[in-house]
Amino acid sequence: MVDKPLIQHIVEEATASGIEQIIIVTSPSKSNIEEHFGRSFELENVLGQRKEEALLEEVRRVAGLANICYVRQNEQLGLGHAILAASEAVGHEPFAVFLPDDIFDAPVPVMKQMLEVYRHYGGSVIALYRVGDEGTRRYGIVKPKRVGERVYQVLDMEEKPGPEHAPSDLAILGRYILTPEIFEALRVTPPGKGGEIQLTDGLALLLTQQAVYGYEFEGTYYDAGTPLSLLKASVALALKHPEMGAELKDYLQKLIYDL
């Protein structure tokens, strides 16, 4: 998206939120992710010889963003399964989860906002976004109890209930802070459709044991899993880019005028 892969946007959001240790769950076919964040001395040498100082600095910056390790998920059996695959690497500690298909444009990184909620309330925290009636057909929806400004205790949740059965219009998006008890909840969560272990099902079990909170974040959300929304996100972020923003704005204005 714009000038960097989606996964880099996620890693940069994590580091901007103060997270230093990152675990990326990948499949065996995605070794290029590891290559992207690794040091490439051959590339650095070429850039140095060509006096491409800005590119060389960027390559080194990306490689030094965080301490990153990788866990292979040999079968794609749902988000809950992916989180379980990382359990040994995480250990018995609270941890954050980022889904690369969900992109946020916010003055304060969304995860940094959520960490403040976690520090104040404790317990797991999930990102919430108002989606309207039609959105209740596409997202997991929570039954909320307001406990603070933009903060809710989650009383229940349903996966894609539709407007007739939705307990609210607050949808669960791809940012989570989870307590380590989620691992045990996921281990006893039965597979759902397609044999997948759903995080929503694990969270529904967890909230019967401890408080789970939702935070209605401040910022703009883009679903990068659809072509149109990915295009919208790319344009919106490119317009803020210091090197291409002004030229792109002029181009779009001319394009609209010609139409």
Domains along the chain with CATH numbers: 6-225 (3.90.550.10), 226-259 (no CATH)
The pTM for the full model equals 0.87
The model's pLDDT over 99-126, given as tens digits with 9 standing for 90+, comes to: 988 999 999 999 999 999 999 999 999 9
The model's pLDDT over 32-49, given as tens digits with 9 standing for 90+, comes to: 776 666 666 666 676 677
The model's pLDDT over 155-195, given as tens digits with 9 standing for 90+, comes to: 999 888 999 999 999 999 999 999 999 999 999 999 877 78
| Residue among 100, 96, 93, 122 at smallest CA distance from 111 | 96
**In Å, how far are 7, 95, 200 from 181, measured between CA atoms?**
27, 11, 14
| Three-state DSSP class for residue 7 | helix
